[in-house]
């Protein structure tokens, strides 16, 4: 990390670094701050049982997200740097990854929904299949797609910073 800071050649690179750090870091900080300020609202409107349902559905969503990613986002970022000089191969690789995400992730989501429909009441008592479980799986599908897009944008920005 320090070698990157020492290798900053001019003010433009520092400005790009600051802008991208602010861009990526600010969203994480704002979501944490928003969650903190929503605590009083949560305590007014949600019962302890509701908190439990929220946590269970968040856990289901995180599990589904991890299962759906299949390591694709990390591999695309790695291949991005390998193919950076061959634009056509990079385009084909990213297109293939998007096709995989848009067809396989919903299929995995449907399999999880079917599985949870069959035995969800036995392993998750008190959590309604509709809307909680369905929404957590659907949100994992969209989060997986967003994850790939954000990692690609970070890679393109990182590449631009190192080669300008």
pLDDT, tens only, 116-163? 999 888 888 888 888 888 998 998 888 877 888 888 887 777 665 555
Give the number of other CB atoms < 10 A from CB of residue 101. 22
pLDDT tens readout for residues 59-82: 988 888 888 888 887 888 788 888
Burial letters 30-44, b for 16+ CB under 10 A, else e = eeeeeeeeeeeeeee
Contact 102, 149 (CB under 8 A): no
Residues with Cβ within 8 Å of residue 135, at least 6 apart in sequence: 57
Which is nearest to 144 in space by CA: 116, 103, 92, 91? 103
The three-class DSSP label of residue 13 is helix
Contact 152, 77 (CB under 8 A): yes
Exposed/middle/buried for residue 94 (C-beta within 10 Å: 0-12, 13-18, 19+):
middle
Q: Say what the pLDDT of residue 161 is.
A: 53
Q: Say what the pLDDT of residue 110 is.
A: 92
């Amino acid at each position: 990390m320090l070698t990157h800071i020492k290798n900053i050649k001019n003010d433009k690179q520092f400005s790009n670094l600051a802008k991208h750090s602010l861009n990526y870091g600010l969203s994480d900080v704002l979501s944490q701050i928003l969650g903190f300020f929503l605590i009083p609202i949560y305590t007014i409107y949600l019962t302890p049982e509701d908190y439990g349902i929220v946590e269970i559905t968040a856990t289901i969503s995180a599990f589904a997200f991890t299962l759906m990613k299949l390591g694709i986002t990390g591999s695309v970022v790695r291949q991005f740097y390998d193919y950076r000089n061959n634009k056509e191969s990079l385009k084909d690789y990213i297109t293939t990854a998007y096709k995989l995400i848009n067809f396989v992730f919903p299929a995995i989501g449907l399999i999880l929904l079917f599985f949870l429909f069959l035995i969800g009441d036995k392993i998750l008592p008190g959590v309604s299949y509709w809307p909680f479980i369905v929404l957590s799986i659907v949100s994992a599908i969209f989060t997986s797609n967003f994850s790939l897009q954000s990692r690609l944008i970070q890679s393109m920005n990182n590449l631009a910073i190192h080669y300008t």
